[in-house]
Structure 1
Amino acid sequence: MSKPRVSGTGAAHTWAGQPLHRRALMQRGAMLGLALPVLGALGTQTPSPAAAQESGSGGVLVFDLGSEPENLDPHQMLAYTTSLVVYQMFEGLVRFAPGTLEVEPWLAESWESSEDGLDWTFILRKGVTFHDGTPFNADAVKFSFDRQMDESSPFYKMGQWSTATDLAIIDSVTVDGEDTVTFHLAGPYSKFLSRMTGALDWIVSPTAVEQYGEAFLENPVGTGPYQLDRWEKGQQVVLRRNETWWNGTPGLDEIYFRAIPEEGARLAALLSGEVNMSLDVGPETVDLLRASDAHTVATGPTGAIWFLAMNVESEPFKDVKVRQAVNYAVDKRAIVEDVLRNTVETAYGPLSPGFEEYNPKVETYFSYDPEKAAALLAEAGWPADREVVFRCSIGGSGMLLPEEMATVIQDNLRAIGMQARLEVTEFVSWMDAIRSDQNELTVMSWNVAPTEPDYIFNGVLTKGAFPPGFNTSHWTDEELEQLVADALVTADPAVARANYERAQEIVMEQAPIVPVCHRQQIYGYTNSIKNFAPSPSMMLDLIDVWIEN
């Protein structure tokens, strides 16, 4: 018999003695798209997507991610697609309520903060166990954070997110009883609670980490509704229902996460029934699925941005006139309308219009003007024989159609007198290159929900994100750094908004990037899949999804 579900209304949520209804920040998996070779789409031991064993529950979901996870550790993963897999297995103390960007209690039943906002105490849910049968408790919470923050911990393994300000603000975590834990902050932090929704805050089994060591990357153990059955490298990750999940019975029997990066193969797999759901389907596939009586296309908002990053420390892009020339040179209309067939929105600045802090002034800085671009290039004394290395990944979630888009841009640059040698590589080689000092020009995709904007700035536009982080422009500005830092700690929303509006202007004035487009979440799936909807948080919520016979 299914256990009753948590309603999400929860116990008392207080902040400085007041009711807490904060806009939630995006999942910490503001992550780059992953791209790997085609992973043996045919002939594996994947069952046909199964029918439900009974009405309202059951079935096997075969989900095409478009790329294979790099690992399955919530504190070490990099790719957005990986976070969708890991999200099924791990949970945090709080989460975004389904269909909203409101924070609700999850592994914690309630919380409260001190008057000065520096101490946050969480009362944990009792009776929760990890997939290995060990208990979830305050010690496990402390272990999960010490593992990332405390260099003296024997299991210290800081993740690769150098921009993890949500961890940097935590001074320490103390255990105040088996079911009580307190986070002590280094300073006021207006977004602390919403930060606690993300991957760095998901709780891992201490026993499993101790048992597997480095191999925990491939042997994840959490408390979530689904648990790892097996990972067939180069083929698929298979999850099965957690029969002892604390919050009832999850809807699906099994989930097979596959990775088919090539668009034609992805469409064929979906139409043939080899897979029954696909993420980030391409524009031609969208048209075909919408014309099909057997399939559904569901879309959801994002704050994601696809852009060009120019390394301002490299010789070609030190001069702001050159960077401005590239901004004028790129024909965004051709990319948005001809390549992506209006499945995306044109980008004019680092934030999408879905952000409350969006500054419409960014729309006035650059338009497609190849003559002006050529003139700026001439003013900068651009050598006719100079060649720029232009890097591109072959695919990955959020990358859209990177090679086709990059080819348009390459032609645009050639038209103004800039020769760009396009180097298209698989994900690992591309990642190594863009996070090095040798990078000159690259395509980039940054996946965030349209909530708090600092994940854009702190993720790719501040010095804290310099490589091996993802500020591949190697650009920083003192005024912008201060504006973003102040916006995070101010209690006045008007001040924060003004800071972010000015920060957008600085980015466009100095032009370290070329904003190209903002993508949507686009899922294509068979009509047999029930109770699915894209989440505003951009996470993949499958708890109540089932498959109809």
Structure 2
Amino acid sequence: MKRHLWLGAGLAGVLVLGLTACASSSRDAGTTTAASGSAQASGSAGEGSGGQPANPDGQFVFGAAGAPSMFDPLYATDGETFRVARQINEGLIRFKPGTADPEPALATDWEQSTDGKTWTFTIREGVTFHDGTPVDAAAVCFNLDRMYNQTGAGATQAQYWSDVMGGFKNQVDDAGQPVPSVYSSCTAEGNKAVIALTTSTSKFPGVLGLPSYSIQSPTALQQYDANNVVAQGDSFVYPAYATEHPTGAGPYKFQAYDKANNTVTLVRNDDYYGEKAKTKTLIFKIIPDETARKQELQAGTIDGYDFPSPADWDGLTGAGFNVEVRPAFNVMYLGMTQGTNPALADLKVRQAIAYALNREQFVQSQLPDGAKVADIFYPDTVDGWTDDVTKYPYDPEKAKQLLAEAGQSNLTVNFWWPTEVSRPYMPDPKSVFTAFKADLEAVGITVNEISKPWNGGYLDGVEAHDADLFLLGWTGDYNTPDNFIGTFFTRTDNRFNTGTQPWGATLSEALKQADAIPDPDQRNAAYVKINQDLMGTYLPAVPISHSPPAIVVAGDVEGLVASPLTDERFSTVYKTS
């Protein structure tokens, strides 16, 4: 931050249409009450057609690209930690398999007040955490209050709370002013958890499906001192709960993290309220190198891995592996830092750069089938998407004209690109940079190349506004425009440095107001207007493409439902041989 079986194009249509239909119905319905969910477990829709597990007491081994940072999702921001946490935990809601839309999980249904500030969740009865503690409304409120009450290093690390909800209880900024929070309180009323917010937000209820908002055992959280996060230099030391005793209510239970052998082992939760996991043991084998992951899959020592290079898709498929391509729920963009290079403060210069990029050729030549040019900063399955925006087709002559009008025919830019990384939206950063460097030079722009390791200076440098131009992107966490453009532009001290522009505060306020509109139709209209302004009046970046990432499993593996959110649940997965 997410589809069809590469061997069968029909499933692609089903999944993509399903995602579109769900998003569309959400836009059009305008209701305030969620449909009551059945008691069926998550993942039942993902059972493979035909066949049964060859050995239900066997194991499924997945090749992980990195080690989890720990196992308490409240403090996590990385995909490998979330991948494990999704198997252990559940939240009030989850996402329907193969889509980005919410469905019941620990809550069977929910209601929203007219003003959008009160949400009432009916908690599923008869469910227990892995340690036998009941899952009830009191446990739900304990978890939400625990998140809200973080202090010190815990508050620093609970980034998904601060990014989405704002402040923690009694938190003040550097000037001593209270940091506003979307969250106000949670009250247990029988089997209902009533969550009060300070403002309506489009983030609800979708955000509650993220791993960071998992409902965990209050007993275990207290017994193993879960909040005792300690800063140690530039790193953090986590308590026993996060390293040895994560306790959720999901289909798998934590067994061990063997650092010597680079494996995380989970075992089936036989007391799970829904359909039990089809494999007794789930192992994540940490293999940082992609080539090594592919070789281990070919050797049969692992049963699958994520983000295979698009260059390998055909070869893997031809060798009998199942390459499942997710719908593209992401965006890659060329960022243009405001205020760093004075020339970029001129809209004409930014538009010239947009016209200079041959995005269509780039998508056709470098990205996998299913990728497409982005017209705005999120895919067309998300609310507020509109085709009625200013577009920037490849037009080098128009680019030259705009540069001349701006007095920047001899423009020089520092163009940054990341090394030592491959992202779902950007499989090969160097190739992206090379293509667009040539496009910029073709219209007379001098490009200074600057490359830095992803976690070794690139991200820090971009956030510090050191780059003129930079390549980045986003894979959506849930299905709202706020999760895309709200994440990018609401803060004026964002990576684009929009606060240096006279329109930066205007854009920020428009995003805040749109997010707080309780009526879906009115909110959708507000986001349409924001997208039009972003592309026509502001243009702080150039949206490049939406690219479908893949996940690959062995030919004898069934039951995997690829998710647009990389939200795969492995409880439905089994081997037939």
TM norm. shorter chain > 0.5: yes
Q: Distance in 2 between matches of 1:287 and 1:152?
A: 50
Q: Which runs of 5+ in 1 are unaligned?
A: 1-14, 23-51
* Cα distance in 2 for residues equivalent to 1:264 and 1:165: 39
Q: Which moved more, 1:161-170 or 1:196-205?
A: 161-170
Q: Which residue of 2 aligns with 1:438?
A: 466
Contact 2:107 2:122 survives alignment (8 Å): yes
**CA 1:441–1:153 in structure 2 vs 1: closer, same or farther (change >3 Å)?**
closer
With over 3 angstroms needed to count, the CA separation of the structure-2 counterparts of 1:512 and 1:81, relative to structure 1, is farther
Please give the residue correspondences for 1:418-497 in structure 2 after superposition, counting only pairs within 5 Å.
Answer: 418-427=446-455, 429-448=457-476, 451-463=479-491, 466-467=493-494, 477-497=504-524
Q: Could you tell me how far apart the structure 2 residues matched to 1:57 and 1:121 are?
A: 38
The answer for the alignment partner of 1:531 in structure 2 is: 559
**Offset of residue 100 of structure 1:** 4.9
- Distance of 1:225 and 1:463 partners within structure 2: 38
TM-score by length of 2: 0.76
Q: Tell me, in whole angstroms, the C-alpha distance in 1 between the residues paired with 2:475 and 2:119.
A: 29
Q: Secondary structure at the match of 2:388?
A: helix
SS at match of 2:209: coil
* Cα distance in 2 for residues equivalent to 1:227 and 1:471: 42
Alignment of 1:76-225 (within 5 A): 76-100=75-99, 102-114=101-113, 116-150=115-149, 159-161=158-160, 162-165=162-165, 168-176=181-189, 179-189=191-201, 192-210=204-222, 211-212=224-225, 213-214=228-229, 215=238, 216-219=241-244, 220-225=246-251
Partner of 1:4: none
Q: For residues 389 and 458 of structure 1, do their structure 2 counterparts lie closer, same or farther at Cα, with a shift above 3 Å needed?
A: same
User: Which position in structure 2 is the counterpart of 1:548?
Assistant: 576
- How far is 1:183 from its partner? 0.8
Matched residue, 1:227? 253
Letter of the structure 2 residue corresponding to residue 172 of structure 1? S
TM-score, normalization by structure 1: 0.79
Distance 1:304 1:341, change over 3 A: closer
- 3-state secondary structure, aligned to 1:520: coil
- The letter for the 1-side match of 2:575 is I
2:358 aligned partner, one-letter code: D
Sequence identity percentage = 27
The one of 324, 346, 349 equivalent to 2:376 is 349
Task: Report if aligned partners of 2:326, 2:562 keep a CA contact under 8 Å in 1.
Answer: yes
- CA shift for structure 1 position 174: 2.2
Secondary structure of the residue aligned to 2:514 is: helix
2:311 corresponds to: 284
Counterpart of 1:163 in structure 2: which amino acid? D
CA distance in 2, matches of 1:342, 1:332: 15
AA at the equivalent of 2:34: L
State the distance in 1 between where 2:35 and 2:108 align: 16
Q: Residues of 2 paired with 1:18 and 1:498: CA distance?
A: 18
Aligned-pair Cα RMSD in Å: 3.5
Where does residue 310 of structure 1 map in the other structure? Answer: 336
Change (3 A) 1:62 1:56: closer
2: distance between equivalents of 1:154 and 1:511? 36
Aligned counterpart in structure 2 of residue 367 of structure 1, from 390, 393, 400: 393
Count of matched residue positions in the alignment of Structure 1 and Structure 2: 500
Seen in structure 2, the aligned counterparts of structure 1 residues 165 and 255 have a Cα distance that, compared at 3 Å, is same
For 1:30-70, what per-residue CA distance to the aligned partner results, in whole angstroms no more than 9, with x for missing partners?
xxxxxxxxxxxxxxxxxxxxxx9954734422223444444
Q: Please list the CA deviations of residues 362-409 of structure 1 after superposition, one character each: whole Å capped at 9, or x if unmatched.
A: 4x5212233433444454444959451514142244242223222322
Q: Contact 1:331–1:409 (CA<8 Å) still a contact in 2?
A: yes
